A and B are shown apart, each in its own frame.
Chain A
Amino acid sequence: MLCMAGALAAGAALAAAPEPPDPWPDLVRDVFDGRPLAEGTGVIAIDMPARAEDAAIVPVTLRLNLAPGDPRSVKAVTLVIDRNPAPVAATFALGPDAGVTAIETRVRVDSYTDVHAVAELDDGTLHMTKIYVKASGGCSAPAAKIADEAKKNLGQMKLRQFAGPDGASREAQLMIRHPNNSGLQMDQLTRLYTPAFFVRDVNIWQGEKLLVKMDAGISLSEDPNIRFTYRPTGAATLRAEAVDTDQNVFRGEWPVGLGE
């Protein structure tokens, strides 16, 4: 009980203090080695509601917009929720020729915060955009809705497939049952803090070619979810492998095709 009281008092003191300084400059240094970030190049866009209606499940879509004929390609995209306890929500490394132009996932938003997305091109340049998002009020919280459910079906995967936005592309959505527990919450029965327990690495291949590799953190919602467009190669299967912080490995393989 002492621990809990201490933690709550600390939280209250923090909240009463004036708005803490903008964390972004430090994040640029720590996450991007202080490299220059080009803004306003239109290479990347964030589509996200300005108000996080449900703090636990905030949809976010990252759109990659290299002009037709631009010889460069996007190597990786990093999504940063500046004021979350673990700001780097995910980094998506894209396979060469994967043809990914949009990535949708769902995140937790703990506060009123800037959300940054940074695309790294194969010429080494970094391109940044940002959006301001307000955490929801009311009873929503960035916590699991049904804590037992995600544990019970741990690692269950589902792949959904869709026609892409144009005839040449397709879209896939990988869903993984996992509590993606952020840790630090005290179990009031055992008086122990819950250790963080989350999916940290997801790889998705088309045949033998990598489409997306996601390095993820606790800012992703429970049941981590990634939906993305890609350019089909004619390979017969899509395959996924996910690893969580307990080194559990989850695998799935599905025939390429529309319908579920």
Chain B
Amino acid sequence: MLACATALSQAQPAPDPLPVTEIAPGVFIHQGAAAVMTPANAGAIANVGFIVGDAAVAVIDTGGSVAEGRQLADAIRRVTAKPVRYVINTHAHPDHVFGNAAFAGDAIFVGHKNLPRGLAARGPFYLSNFRRILGDDLMTEVKIIAPTWLVDGEDVLDLGGRRLVLHAWPAAHTDADLTVFDEQTQTLLAGDLVFLDHVPVLDGSLRGWLSVLDALARLPAQRVVPGHGPIAAWPDALAPERRYLQRLAEDVRGLIARGAPIRAAEGAAAAEKPHWSLFEEYNTRNATAAFSELEWE
């Protein structure tokens, strides 16, 4: 048994801390791979990060596996000894919450008021479906941990001399989207309300998302950390996503007006294909969801 454990630990040396970049003073970000979650990337496809205040640290999304969450925790320890007081989940998707268990303990989990419901509805399916996608090794430790600090409208977290303003948005990318605005550096951590390069993924409301974009654009940020893609200037970073969503809405409305069946939705927004990575993986599902929403208009 001892030999076995030794062999295991030799076979799996502790991975390096997650590579992070200090994109603004005290704001550290890991840019996820432009890919779908696989065993090889350990689910590390979303942008995750942390913000360090005078007294404490807030983590913003924990990654697509407990392995990634632990690497993120290691990255924090390299930067500061201050405690992680808050773990903020921007929404319910696996690539943003599967690392939560790495921070279970003293941290307070924070999310949109709808997030517990979303996790309850989706969690069991995610846990079984991702066994197939990520494999047992990465999934064994994943736990669905729901927030206990729930945000309805606007709220503020104080890290000690540093205020994070949280916004809970109406249904857009999902029905539990939360953004984090760091007042000190005017950095917006937008979660998946903003995609760059990686095609936007619709799992909430297309009409809602387009209307949230207008409100989002008014936040006085200098830069944005999107849920996927590079850090970018604000609000210019919204332009490609807005263009895609508008094209999707226009094409789908055209199909509905012509009486096309929902299967025909897969051809919508085809003109956008050259502009995005992972278009094939997500566009059809976006169009299907958009069709079922817009046919009620």
Q: Which residues of A contact B (CB under 8 A)?
A: 4, 7-8, 11-12, 14-16, 47, 49, 53-57, 59, 61, 104, 106, 110-112, 135-149, 158, 160, 162-163, 171, 175, 177, 185-189, 221, 223, 225, 227
Contacts and interface: CB of A to CB of B under 8 A. Distances in A.
Contacts of B146: 188
Contact of A189 (B116, B284, B292): B116
Contact of B95 (A139, A141, A175): A139
Interface SS of B by simple majority: helix
Contacts of A53: 266, 284-285, 288
Given A57-B289, A139-B93, A146-B204, A15 B128 contact: yes
29 contacts: A4-B120, A8-B123, A8-B127, A11-B128, A12-B140, A15-B127, A15-B139, A53-B288, A54-B288, A137-B132, A140-B285, A141-B121, A141-B125, A141-B126, A143-B118, A143-B121, A145-B175, A145-B204, A145-B289, A146-B175, A146-B205, A146-B208, A147-B117, A148-B175, A149-B205, A160-B259, A160-B295, A163-B259, A188-B116
A11 B285 contact: no
A104 B263 CA distance: 10
**Closest A-B pairs by Cβ, 10 of them:** A188-B116, A53-B285, A139-B93, A141-B122, A143-B121, A54-B285, A15-B128, A15-B131, A162-B259, A53-B284
A59 B120 contact: no
Contacts, number: 136
B54 interface: no
Contacts of A147: 114, 117-118, 121, 175
Interface string B165-185: 000000100110000000000
B149 interface: no
Contacts of B263: 47, 49, 59, 61
Contact of A8 (B129, B143, B289): B143
A162 B121 CA distance: 36
B292 A106 contact: yes
B267 to A, nearest CB: 13
A188 B128 contact: no
Nearest to A193: B120
A143 to B, nearest CB: 4
Nearest to A142: B125
A83 B264 CA distance: 27
Contacts of A163: 259
B189 interface: no
Contacts of A141: 121-122, 125-126, 129
Contacts of A12: 127-128, 131, 139-140
A8 B146 CA distance: 13
